[in-house]
Amino acid sequence: MSVAVAPAGLTLDIGDPQVQEAAIRIQASYRGHRSRKELREKGPPKILQPLKDVVLLEGSAARLECRVSAFPDPFIVWAKDGGELKDGLKYRYVFEDPDVVALVVRDGTLEDLGQYTVTIKNPFGMTTGSARIIVEAPARITKGPNNQTVVGGATVVLKAEIGGEPPPDVGWLRDGEDIEEDDRVFYDIGETTTILTIKNAQHADAGKYEVFVENNLGTDQSFARVDVL
């Protein structure tokens, strides 16, 4: 029975000094490649794709995210207006391979409006990025004015508590007609309240008063009765 012989040129003699030298060069080249790769990858974190402002509709959730490059793996901290946010039910830290870092804000309210910052650090350094969450909420009246009965000549003050983002337009009506402001009858609009003032109340001032608020997401209104004796 004949024994198969390897074709010429396909055998290596590991005892051959030239073969040993070639193996040493290959190993050294690989170690150099690996070292260069590690030196290239190790270093302070970098943000490859920055955070962007997002709109959060009241009652829903929003997500801030960026792409990062960091080796070794970084330590992540999120903050809102300078205060650190803890990973939990309200705020959820998200890490998605290979390079996405995100924060999910749940159950949005107007208080979530603000500047959010992510800090990314490893043993070689740190970097930060920031963006705003812009909260939108329908216009609303959280507390309407109270009915009032006054004597002639008294001052009537009708106050309503309001909300909404963008800040709503506000108006007052009496018996369905727009109130014409003057030095005696006028109203003020603040960030969270609106106040209608009627000085030196007269019998003609009696009626059904309405306050309404409106923005691009909705409208709301409330009513109060004023009687002048």
- The model's pLDDT over 186-206, given as tens digits with 9 standing for 90+, comes to 999 999 999 999 999 999 999
Q: Which residue has the tokens 């007269």?
A: 202
Residue 171 has pLDDT above 60, yes or no: yes
Residue 36 has pLDDT above 50, yes or no: no
Q: Sorting pLDDT into bands at 50, 70 and 90, what band is 40?
A: very low
Antiparallel, parallel or unpaired: β 125-143 and 54-57? parallel
Instruction: Report the percentage of the chain scoring pLDDT > 90.
Output: 76
Residue 91 has pLDDT above 80, yes or no: yes
Eight-class DSSP state of 206: -
Distance CA(28)–CA(209), nearest Å, equals 89
Residue 92 has pLDDT above 50, yes or no: yes
Out of 19-23, 48-52, 88-92, least confident range: 19-23
What's the pLDDT at 226? 98
Element (H, E) at 213: strand 207-215
Dig out the tokens for 176 from the structure. Answer: 């369905």
Q: How many residues are present in the chain?
A: 229
Q: Which residue has the tokens 């003050």?
A: 157
**pTM of the full structure:** 0.67
Q: Do the beta carbons of residue 90 and residue 80 sit within 8 Å? A: no
**Cα-based distances in Å from 75 to 32, 45, 98, 108, 177:** 29, 10, 15, 26, 61
Q: Which of 67, 74, 58 is nearest to 111 (CA)?
A: 58
